[in-house]
């Protein structure tokens, strides 16, 4: 998975890649290639070992989440959404100032590769189905997060009063998470 290979393109955040899944259609329907074993984690060379499916109703916001050790490959299967990405790698390494942040509109057929220590979340404009492959099996100790509306992250979410889980509503400020990750 490198920019230019299989349609992968760079984003404003280093190592975050995106592509549009190619659909090969005929009179019967369509076929799309979502993943190949050769598409390992480009930063660590780790294979994807677990697949998850998230289904969200309109106005649901999930995030912002971050993993110390896990990379994700997200595929939007159905719906329209907004993905927010916040690069915590510079802050964890000691940099000060606002972290690099990008907001990407997505729809069915879009894929995004998210490396470890890049905070991520999404907002569902419509019913949204998101399949994500991950490089680590689920480990609750690596499930971290920070406030979806943290002013230091400055994510321009399309909704100011989204539907949130109790976990996401209780996430700490970004500065607290960065201090924990540095420690």
Q: Which active-site residues does the annotation give?
A: 65, 132
Q: What is Dmax (Cα atoms) for the chain?
A: 57
Please tell me the distance from the alpha carbon of residue 137 to that of residue 131, in angstroms, as a whole number: 15
Is 87 within 8 Å of 13 (Cβ atoms)?
yes
Which DSSP state fits 151?
T
Q: Helix (H, G, I), strand (E, B), or coil: what is residue 178?
A: helix
For tokens 């993905």, the residue is 83
Q: Helix (H, G, I), strand (E, B), or coil: what is residue 119?
A: strand
Please tell me the distance from the alpha carbon of residue 10 to that of residue 19, in angstroms, as a whole number: 9
Query: How many residues make up the chain in this entry?
Result: 183
**Pairing outcome for strands 128-134 and 50-56:** antiparallel
Give the dihedral of Cα atoms 74, 78, 80, 83; nearest 10 deg. Answer: -10
């Amino acid at each position: 998975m490198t920019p230019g290979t299989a349609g992968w393109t760079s984003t404003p955040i280093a190592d975050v890649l995106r592509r549009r899944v190619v659909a090969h259609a005929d009179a019967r329907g369509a076929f799309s290639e979502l993943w190949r074993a050769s598409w390992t984690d480009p930063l660590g060379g780790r294979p994807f070992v677990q697949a998850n499916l998230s289904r969200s109703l309109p106005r649901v916001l999930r995030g912002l989440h971050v993993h110390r050790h896990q990379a994700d490959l997200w595929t939007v299967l159905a719906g329209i959404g907004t993905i927010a990405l916040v690069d915590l790698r510079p802050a964890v390494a000691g940099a000060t100032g606002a972290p690099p942040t990008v907001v990407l509109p997505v729809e069915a057929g879009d894929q995004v590769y998210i490396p470890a220590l890049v905070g991520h979340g999404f907002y569902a404009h419509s019913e949204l189905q998101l399949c994500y492959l991950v490089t680590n099996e689920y480990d609750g100790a690596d499930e971290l997060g920070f406030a979806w509306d943290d002013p230091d992250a400055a994510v321009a979410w399309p909704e100011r009063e989204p539907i949130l889980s109790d976990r996401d509503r209780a996430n700490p400020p970004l500065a607290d998470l960065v201090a924990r990750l540095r420690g």
